[in-house]
Amino acid sequence: MFKPCYHPIPNNVNWNGLSANPNMIHLLEQNMDKIYWSWLSKNPNAIHLLEQNMDKVHWHYLSLNPNAIHLLEQNLDKIDWFWLSRNPNAIHLIEQNLDKVDWCMLSTNPTAIHLLEQNLDKIDWFWLSRNPNAIHLIEQNLDKVYWCMLSTNPTAIHLLEQNMDKVSWFWLSENPNAIHLIEQNMDKVYWHGLSKNPNAIHLIEQHMDKVDWYYLSSNPNAIHLLEQHMDKVDWSYLSTNPNVLRIIVSLDCAKMRAKCIEFAEALAAYVFHPKRMVRLAEAYDVDIMELITEVY
């Protein structure tokens, strides 16, 4: 199998962040000694690495990993129920262990709405206010809503539009579905939140002097801006950016060409072998000399 050649990885890359980055698995496989196992334990694409290194797993973060359910089912005594309560794929385990659930974290879980509906007295309204699947509960209990958290909720835009005096601009600035409200109130924007808003790139480009580079470094849609301002990048946050690959690992085209020469020569020898050319000429009723002239 052909493997692409890359330039060396920059020394200032943060391997803690890369360990949690779901798009960096091939790099982590090649740099096992640099893995930060605590953060890898929450990486949804790292299950095969975790399975091969169960002694290094951090169970509190693994309990949060949506792809680790089979490992958690096999190790119920090691589950961290605080984090599992947030895991969207662990509902069957949660349902079987409601006495162990952390209701604050469960209130953030988008797949736990039926449990929350059955236990309204246990809901943590601060955290529920940001749950994108809990809008019907929120609409029925507006007196219990925490507007700071609701301002981050991407499905609560209609409620925010109807209660602009209650909006928290600190939190609304990072809401990906609130761009129209933000554009109409640029004087109220908090730039650290806006800098990590994936739908605000056009606003960020227009106000580069206000950008918070710390948070922009984690913005998956800001890679082109980060490439142009590498001196301002925060490497800890950049390493968690799902699109960081094109910054930290560029293809070494010269090395790839050199690596391909032997393969290319072997392929050409096979494709243009005289016997094969004769068969092609006969199959397509083409004059062999005309075919050779076209090829060479």
How far, in Å, are 108, 146, 274, 296 from residue 285 at the CA level?
69, 78, 16, 19
Domain count, the chain: 1
More confident site: 107 or 291: 107
- 283 in a structural domain: yes
Asked if residue 289 belongs to a domain, the reply is: yes
Please give the single-letter amino acid code of residue 87: N
What CA–CA distance (Å, rounded) separates 272 from 260? Answer: 18
| Paired strand residues for 251 | 6
Specify the pLDDT at position 11. 77
Question: Do residues 237 and 217 make contact, with C-beta atoms less than 8 angstroms apart?
Answer: yes
High-pLDDT (> 70) share of the chain, %: 82
In a domain, 280, yes or no: yes
Residue 159 located in a structural domain: no
> Over 80: is that where the pLDDT of 200 sits?
yes
Question: Does residue 200 contact residue 182 with C-beta atoms inside 8 Å?
Answer: yes
Kindly state the DSSP code that residue 188 receives in the 8-state scheme.
Answer: G
Residue 263 structural domain: 256-295
Structure confidence by residue, pLDDT tens digits, 17-51: 999 999 999 999 999 999 999 999 999 999 999 99
- Residue 276: inside a domain, yes or no? yes
Rounded Cα gap, residues 209 and 195, in angstroms: 12
pLDDT (tens digit per residue) in 130-167: 999 999 999 999 999 999 999 999 999 999 999 999 99
CA distances (Å), 34 to each of 11, 120, 199, in order? 12, 45, 33
Per-residue pLDDT tens over the stretch 238-273: 999 999 988 887 544 455 465 556 666 666 666 666
Residue 7 has pLDDT above 60, yes or no: no
Looking at the domain assignment, is residue 150 inside a domain? no
Task: Look at residue 261 and tell me if it is in a domain.
Answer: yes
CA 10-13-18 angle, to 5 degrees, is 130
- Enumerate residues 6+ apart whose C-beta is below 8 A from 241: 21, 217, 218, 219, 220, 223, 226
> Residue 278: inside a domain, yes or no?
yes
- Is residue 9 predicted with pLDDT exceeding 80? no
